[in-house]
Amino acid sequence: MKNKAITDREVDFAQWYTDVVKAAHLAEYSNVKGCIVFEPNGYAIWEKMQSVLDKMFKETGHQNVYMPMFIPESLLKKEGELIEGFAPECAWVTQGGAGNALEERMAVRPTSETLFSDYYSSKINSYRDLPKLYNQWCNVVRWEKETRPFLRTREFLWQEGHTIHETAKEAEEETLRMLNVYKTFFEEYLAIPAITGRKTEKEKFAGAEYTYTIESLMYNGVALQSGTTHYFGQKFSKAYDIKFLNRNNQQEYVYQTSWGVTTRMIGALIMVHSDENGLVLPPKIAPRQVAIVPIGNDEQIVQLANSICDKLKASGVTAFVDTTDRTPGYKFAEHEVNGIPVRVELGKRDFENGVITLARRDTREKITVDMNCDIVNEVKTLLDNIQSNLYDRALKRRDELTYVCQNMEEVEKIMNTKPGFVKAMWCGDQECELKMKEIRGTKSRCILENEEPVGDKCVCCGKKAKHLVVWGIQY
């Protein structure tokens, strides 16, 4: 039985995506252009992501802070490349109080390098004050023209880490450390295989010396930039005058990084794992892992439901009993569309036969277990299986949609039929990047620094290649 509110993913992927967002009550369009309402089911996923990541950040020595959301224009302008990159995307506050014009307009933060730099410049004196490893969870605004729920909205939620260090080496290590934290989070929690590498000059962050990225592939073969970490060197510290007395008793500018992931990850979860029956969530990120549905009002069955629920909760599984006044079929469909990984069905006939039915969301299989089994262990094993099955399935899909190309004809053929990640050699010229873009907007995703080359000639111009690059059509 298929959920009728959801379009077939193979027929119209964009519509399917919107249908899943709606049907699973993740978000709703708002009357504020380009902004969405995060509904309880959607926000709960973000809360879960935050709690896992925040722990990982703290374990790697980071502390949370909170900076103002407004940036005076003059402060934003101090670093030239940053303002160039972001000025076309800013929302500006020009009036405050009873309609009074401000002396200086202020941008609503599109990112907070400027504010962190300004703060650090007044706080750092000596190498003893370093490093500072700060992060903040907040909302940011980028004035996008085309928006899609979670993937691209004018306001979104994210975390932004901003660190300063005594040496370039330490800062570069930090840039890689956080890239690996993101990779771990994607693979172990979101069950999404992640490619990591360096952005080309054209695609790097405005103002960064270089940018690392984590790239994932959606079910339809489109690539999603899923998180970035930036090494700034001394670019911002020179622009904002963040100096310290180094160990040789000399004034030196600090070395800086920033890194961030956003609510876009909810979009990635949908587009990698979900299906025609709605949301599919990896158990490790699902706000609710197990729905227990007693069928009918039999006192013994309701008791059994509650006892299973208590046992699961005591062992750290987030479970709930659904005793709402609706038919079992309605409940099953709802828990399915909401992506709850495991459903425990307690029917009268099963009860009489001494068994319990477990339904897994990923494959929609049903499993029968003995009523006297170690139910906590059964459910936990099943949750683990679902977690690894989702990862394996996503990896298989990505591998199927990953190609090696030697020339533009091959790239064109793939991107026009069954797109995905294209691995191909590149000479390093931006001109070739621009030519690739003519093929359905194909962009370099990242330079793979630790992989064997797949040839020696640029896929575009045929000249001597410098880098192995992953290309893809971008969200």
Interacting residues toward a second copy by CB under 8 A: 28, 30-32, 35-40, 43-44, 46-47, 63-72, 75, 87-99, 105-106, 108, 115, 118-119, 122-123, 134, 138-139, 141, 143, 145, 154-155, 157
> Quick one: which H or E segment has residue 403?
strand 402-404
Shortest Å distance, C-beta 438 to a second copy:
25
CA dist 366 and 282 (Å) reads 18
Shortest Å distance, C-beta 305 to a second copy:
20
The residue among 242 and 401 lying less far from a second copy, judged by its C-beta, is: 242
Return the bridge partners of 471, or none.
Answer: 422, 444
The residue among 77 and 463 lying less far from a second copy, judged by its C-beta, is: 77
The residue among 123 and 396 lying less far from a second copy, judged by its C-beta, is: 123
Shortest Å distance, C-beta 281 to a second copy:
17
The residue among 93 and 395 lying less far from a second copy, judged by its C-beta, is: 93
CA gyration radius, the chain: 25
Instruction: Please count the other Cβ atoms lying within 10 Å of the Cβ belonging to residue 377.
Output: 10
Shortest Å distance, C-beta 317 to a second copy:
17
* Number of residues assigned to the chain: 475
Shortest Å distance, C-beta 62 to a second copy:
9
Q: 443: helix, coil or strand?
A: strand
Question: Which residue is listed with tokens 């970490």?
Answer: 229
Distance of CA 432 to the CA centre of its chain: 29
Shortest Å distance, C-beta 52 to a second copy:
15
The residue among 37 and 371 lying less far from a second copy, judged by its C-beta, is: 37
The residue among 116 and 205 lying less far from a second copy, judged by its C-beta, is: 116
Q: Are strands 442-447 and 467-473 parallel, antiparallel or unpaired?
A: antiparallel
Q: Give burial (CB, 10 Å; 0-12/13-18/19+) of 78.
A: middle
Return the bridge partners of 107, or none.
Answer: 71, 92
Instruction: Please count the other Cβ atoms lying within 10 Å of the Cβ belonging to residue 146.
Output: 7
Give the Å distances, CA to CA, from 351 to 296, 308, 323, 356: 12, 14, 17, 7
Shortest Å distance, C-beta 260 to a second copy:
17
The residue among 2 and 145 lying less far from a second copy, judged by its C-beta, is: 145
Shortest Å distance, C-beta 83 to a second copy:
12
The answer to whether the CB of 268 falls within 8 A of the CB of 192 is yes
The residue among 9 and 48 lying less far from a second copy, judged by its C-beta, is: 48
The answer to whether the CB of 273 falls within 8 A of the CB of 280 is yes
Shortest Å distance, C-beta 448 to a second copy:
35
Closest CA to 228 of 198, 266, 207, 271: 198
The residue among 183 and 288 lying less far from a second copy, judged by its C-beta, is: 288
Shortest Å distance, C-beta 91 to a second copy:
5
Three-state SS across 186-205? HHHHCCCCCEEEECCCCCCC
**464 DSSP assignment:** B
State the amino acid at position 327 in one-letter form: T
The residue among 94 and 307 lying less far from a second copy, judged by its C-beta, is: 94
Return the bridge partners of 467, or none.
Answer: 426
CA dist 235 and 212 (Å) reads 17
